Structure formats: structure tokens, C-alpha cells
């Protein structure tokens, strides 16, 4: 168990390194496959020995070897976070399909969180891929049925689309983008029906609290649009790990 967890963690670091490429290139409309990694400042290709997750960043003290331009601390943070999440998923997933679902959910949410925070977009390449992956893996899952997965995608995407539609009719402004709708479809396909509902609740509560805190700190108004995808990403990962516990607490509270 422990040696396997270490291997999973190493693969998590490598996948995190790829996520950094996705986070940087997808919103800029660049290919994630070609060309190979290069410094965003000077364009120098990054050598394999300078591309080791976390360690290279530490060794080069967060700077490009060629031009010394600073390299964002986001790179090692994304790599480490992804590795920790993959190990945590591995330790709780009952089978390969549930590990794959959980690992995909965590990595996709990590990338979507970083992209939404900076660019306020949620790329289809991630969300629509996630819907397909979630539905396909549900046939091999030990924790969610294909019915729950299809219902989750429908509830997630359909429910949020309805809320966004009504909100627009009521306020005459666009509150949520279609990106959020597709992201919720992805979360529903990967978590199932009950999971996506919990993810939305957690995202709404945390988003409202942060919004309220900003208003109280006079850093924003009630109209300040927060990137909802950031909160959805956090809510979905929290729901993956703690949905059973939250359902238990909810039942206990109403006994």
C-alpha cells in the first residue's frame, strides 16, 4: 500500500507538471502538446533536468536558467497539490475506476481554479472532456452507478442553466456563464447526483461568505462578480472527500 502510494504521488507530480502547461497554454489558445516546454519570458527551451517537478524550481530558486526571469511559485504549488490530492484519492478509492474518476476530478478542478481565477474562463477542453470521462468510468465504478452519473451531469448542468436563465430574466444581467454550466455537468458526471448537489451547496456557501467578507472589508460591492468556477472547484474536491461525512452529519442533525 505505502510503496504504491509513493508511486502514485510521483505520477501526481508529473501530472501536475503537465497541468501547469495546460493552465498556461489553454487560455492563450496554444497547443498543449507542441512545442516542448519553454521559458515564457525568453523562449529558451527548458532542458529535461530543469523540468523535474518542484526540485528544479527550488534548485533554480524560481528563475529561468537562461534569462533569470522569475518563474511563478504557482508551478511547484500546482505540482505538489496535485500529488497530495492523487495520494489522498488513492488511499480512499475502492477500485481503479474510482481512483481514475477522483484523480481526474482533482486535477481538472485544480486547472479550472487556476484558469478561472486569472482569466475568468472555464475551457471546454477540460469540462467537456470531464463529462465524457465521468460517464464512461461510471460503468466500472464501485461507488456510483451510470444512472447516478448521467443524472448528476443532467442535474448539475440543467439545474445551473435554469438558475442562470431565471437570474438573467430577473436581474437583466448575466450572472453566470455557460462555462459554469458545463463545469457542473463535469462534476455531476464524476461525482454522481448527490455529490454534485453537495458540491453546489459548498460552493454557494463559501462563495457567499467570501463575497460578504469582501463587502464588509469594503473591498467590493454586492455586484462584484467572483469567479464562481474557483468555488465550484473547491466545493467539488471537498464533496469528493467529505460527501459521505456531510450526509451523515445532515441526517444526525435532523434525527
SS3 state of residue 219: coil
Distance of closest approach, residue 47 Cβ to Zn ion, in angstroms: 12
Distance of closest approach, residue 240 Cβ to Zn ion, in angstroms: 37
Distance of closest approach, residue 228 Cβ to Zn ion, in angstroms: 35
Distance of closest approach, residue 63 Cβ to Zn ion, in angstroms: 8
Per the CB < 8 A criterion, the answer to whether 117 and 77 are in contact is no
CA 24 to chain centre: 15
Alpha helices in 26-145 (DSSP H): 55-59, 74-92, 96-119, 124-137
Collect all residues with Cβ–Cβ distance below 8 Å to 161 and sequence separation of at least 6: 178, 181
Distance of closest approach, residue 92 Cβ to Zn ion, in angstroms: 40
Please identify, using beta-carbon distances, which residue of 49 and 165 lies nearer to Zn ion. 49
Please identify, using beta-carbon distances, which residue of 21 and 210 lies nearer to Zn ion. 21
129-188 residues in contact with Zn ion (CB under 5 A) are: none
Does 42 interact with Zn ion (rule: CB under 5 A)? yes
The one segment of 42-50, 52-60, 73-81, 82-90 that binds Zn ion by CB under 5 A? 42-50
> CA–CA separation, 122 vs 116, rounded Å?
6
Among 10, 14, 21, 41, binds Zn ion (CB under 5 A): 41
Pattern of binders to Zn ion over 57-76, x per CB under 5 A? Answer: -------x-xx-x-------
Residue 71 backbone phi and psi in degrees, to 5: -105, 130
CA 175 to chain centre: 21
Chain residues that interact with Zn ion, rule: CB under 5 A: 39, 41-42, 64, 66-67, 69
Amino acid at each position: 500500500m505505502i510503496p504504491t502510494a509513493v508511486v502514485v504521488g510521483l505520477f501526481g507530480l508529473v501530472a501536475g507538471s503537465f497541468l501547469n502547461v495546460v493552465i498556461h497554454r489553454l487560455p492563450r489558445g496554444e497547443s498543449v502538446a507542441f512545442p516542448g516546454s519553454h521559458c515564457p519570458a525568453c523562449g529558451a527551451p527548458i532542458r529535461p533536468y530543469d523540468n523535474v517537478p518542484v526540485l528544479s524550481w527550488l534548485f533554480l530558486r524560481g528563475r529561468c536558467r537562461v534569462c533569470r526571469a522569475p518563474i511563478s511559485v504557482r508551478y511547484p504549488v500546482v505540482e505538489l497539490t496535485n500529488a497530495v490530492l492523487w495520494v489522498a484519492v488513492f488511499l480512499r478509492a475502492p477500485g481503479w475506476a474510482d481512483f481514475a474518476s477522483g484523480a481526474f476530478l482533482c486535477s481538472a478542478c485544480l486547472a479550472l481554479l487556476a484558469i478561472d481565477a486569472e482569466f475568468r474562463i472555464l475551457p471546454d477542453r477540460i469540462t467537456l472532456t470531464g463529462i465524457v470521462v465521468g460517464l464512461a468510468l461510471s460503468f466500472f465504478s464501485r461507488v456510483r452507478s451510470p444512472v447516478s452519473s448521467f443524472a448528476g451531469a443532467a442535474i448539475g448542468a440543467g439545474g445551473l442553466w435554469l438558475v442562470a436563465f431565471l437570474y438573467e430574466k430577473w436581474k437583466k444581467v448575466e450572472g453566470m456563464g455557460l462555462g459554469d454550466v458545463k463545469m457542473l455537468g463535469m462534476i455531476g458526471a464524476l461525482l454522481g447526483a448527490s455529490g454534485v448537489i453537495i458540491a453546489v451547496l459548498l460552493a454557494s456557501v463559501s462563495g457567499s461568505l467570501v463575497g460578504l467578507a469582501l463587502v464588509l472589508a469594503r473591498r467590493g460591492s454586492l455586484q462584484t462578480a467572483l469567479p464562481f468556477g474557483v468555488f465550484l472547484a473547491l466545493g467539488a474536491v471537498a464533496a469528493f472527500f467529505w460527501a459521505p461525512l456531510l450526509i451523515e452529519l445532515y441526517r444526525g442533525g435532523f434525527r
